[in-house]
Amino acid sequence: MEFDGRKRVVIENLQPSLECGRYPVKRCEGELVEVRVDIFCDSHDELGAVLLFRREEQADWESLPLYHKGNDRWENAFVVSEPGRYFFTVRAWVDHFATWQHFLTKKFNAGQDISVDLKVGSILLEQASRRVPSEFSVPLLDRARDLLSASEAAAAVLLATDKEITAMMSLYPDLSLAVEYSPALEIQVDSKKAVFSTWYELFPRSTGSGSHGTFRDCERRLPEIAAMGFDILYLPPIHPIGFTNRKGRNNTTVSEEGDPGSPWAIGSSFGGHKDIEPQLGSMEDFVGLINAAASYGIEVAMDIAFQCSPDHPYVKEHPEWFKTRPDGSIQYAENPPKRYEDIVPFDFECEEWRSLWEELESVVLFWIEKGVRIFRVDNPHTKPFAFWEWLISRIRKRYPEVIFLSEAFTRPKVMYRLAKIGFNQSYTYFTWRNTKEELTNYFNELTKGSHVEYFRPNLWPNTPDILPEYLQIGGVKASAVRLVLAATLSSSYGIYGPVFENGVVDALPGTEEYRDAEKYEIKNWAEKKDGEELRSLIKRVNQARRENPSLQQIRNLRFYSVNNEYLLFYGKATSDLSNVVLVVVNLDPFHPQSGTLKLPLQDLSVSPGQPLFLDDLLSGERFVWSGERSRVTLDPQRSPALLLSVQRQLRQEGQYEYY
């Protein structure tokens, strides 16, 4: 673009932005995007500015005025209505007519001669008449003449500054020397489920009754999963499982007859990543499960694990995609001291990397065409960032509603990078944050500053790979604590379903791994009768999440004061305060804990003398709290937490207990 020294406006610090626009910020459909920018120029001229935005598919920009908020800060907002890519930028200019109006008024009020200034204004109006639609040309020319023929200076000033002429000149400004922020910034707009989702992980092979489960067996679990309030059913890999180096029970290197192997050892003579383990059923059965789940308001999420068993057809058909060791064998996966002899990774540095990328993209597209729109991606941090950025951007161009969950328990900067390049959600360190200080510091990190623009935490109290020490020691009561925390600290959470709800906390000594892990053997959850206590809590918590919009967000998390290190006090509110939920959690799964809460009355727009009416969404009890401080006691034998919904309108005063 040719330099033009007459363009004097400076546009800086356009927000929201991530690394100067290198990566898109994230929003969800229907969300308001609040835009802030610094605009100024030399001298004392008045400025005009507009916010420009459009969907990727739109040819023309939509426009909204920007409003000066003081100290050269300008703001406005727009709504992103549907999933996809949006772009926005800012255009600004010196508003010579507004500047002229401003100085004309000042001169008149100072008693100075304005005759020459009126001639300047007349010229500005004549120039404007040549750029406005024809129906406005005559009124502008008439006003130009009226300025010069006015009998008194006061009358001329009124003609120069009335609302009609000001609005017309504002609507059709002189943009010949306008400046536009470039390049335009990008927003990745996701479906609402990318922000608010409730996951239930289930091994289909464990849904049978005394034998290998199938997709049809899995269908029979749908009513129960829906009744607990889950809207995503996540299945570990459903592909054929390799036989070479198949792992036995508890990850032993020698399998016995009947051992099913790890689902993550993908590929056998029955096929690879585009095929289904025969014992689970047919492709038609899988599509049937997707359709049946949809009838309950549940979407099926698939595991994407880009790795192979030594038996995978890729190994024979494309040996160039794998790393060969000096002894001629294929390099299997390792994370010393752990060894995964049943898995061989792709070599993303191979000479044929382009064909490898294209094949892996075809795997994702294959399952999308079968009806899958949500993918939990296994260990994405062990594949190149450039690959994921390429893959996800290409998928989103065709299917903007697709959701990718990053299962990356790795270094923070790596996890954040994966989120920046396109993953909608991410696993977190929540699993190992147990104390009040740890939880407060970590979630302040996730919900404050630039991280909130792109990183969406999905919280899991447990996974098939991880049984945290807190759950091992605390049992069912500890599970209840972690459930409430996961479901309310973030807007997306998940549980490793039957294991969690049945309170299974048996670990291999000295590890965070399950004893008799389901990864290596078939369970029979259909016969398991435990877990009613946790299932009941899960239902109440998920119902609270569905009915309270404040719990469906992550940016609105705020921590509050309570004088007990075992009590965590926080809250969430919608921007208009129409829905507010305050949460108090007892982090001690063994003992009752008491403390005095300092209520965030100012945040709630509640005056100090005004009573606060609260409904506990877990117990059904109702309270009235008066004043800034209130005393609570939480006994883990009764309930791990209070989920207090603030009532703006009192229902029946006699139903509330005063504190």
Per-run averaged pLDDT (10 residues), the chain, 659 residues: 89 96 96 97 96 96 97 98 96 96 95 94 94 91 91 92 92 95 97 97 93 95 97 98 95 92 97 98 98 98 98 97 89 82 95 98 98 98 98 96 96 97 98 98 93 96 96 97 98 96 94 95 80 93 98 96 98 95 98 96 87 94 91 96 84 50
Instruction: Please work out, in degrees rounded to the nearest 5, the angle formed at the alpha carbon of residue 363 by the alpha carbons of 360 and 366.
Output: 150
pLDDT of 658 reads 44
Name the catalytic one among 303, 378, 453, 521.
378
Amino acid 338: pLDDT: 77
For Cα atoms 232, 238, 244, give the angle at the middle one, nearest 5 degrees: 150
Q: Which amino acid is at 272?
A: G
Does this model's pTM top 0.95? My answer is: no
**Beta strands 307-308 and 344-345, pairing class:** antiparallel
Provide the pLDDT for residue 528. Answer: 67
Q: Is the dihedral of CA 394, 400, 401, 406 positive or negative?
A: positive
pLDDT of residue 333: 82
Model pLDDT, residue 657:
52
Give how far Cα 511 sits from Cα of 329, 465, 469, 482, 517, Å.
31, 11, 8, 19, 12
SS3 per residue for 377-405: EECHHHCCHHHHHHHHHHHHHHCCCCEEE
pLDDT at residue number 659: 45
At 329 the pLDDT is 82
Peptide bond connecting 412 to the previous residue in cis, omega within 30 degrees of 0? no
Adjacent-strand bridge partners of 36: 15, 75
Cα atoms in the Cβ-side hemisphere of radius 13 Å centred on 174: 19
Q: On the CB side of 27, how many CA atoms lie within 13 Å of its CA? A: 23
Give every CB contact of residue 162 below 8 A, 6+ residues apart in sequence. Answer: none
Q: Identify whether 378 is a catalytic site residue.
A: yes
CB 199 within 8 A of CB 270: no
Do residues 91 and 179 touch, judged by C-beta distance below 8 A?
Answer: yes
* pLDDT attached to residue 529: 65
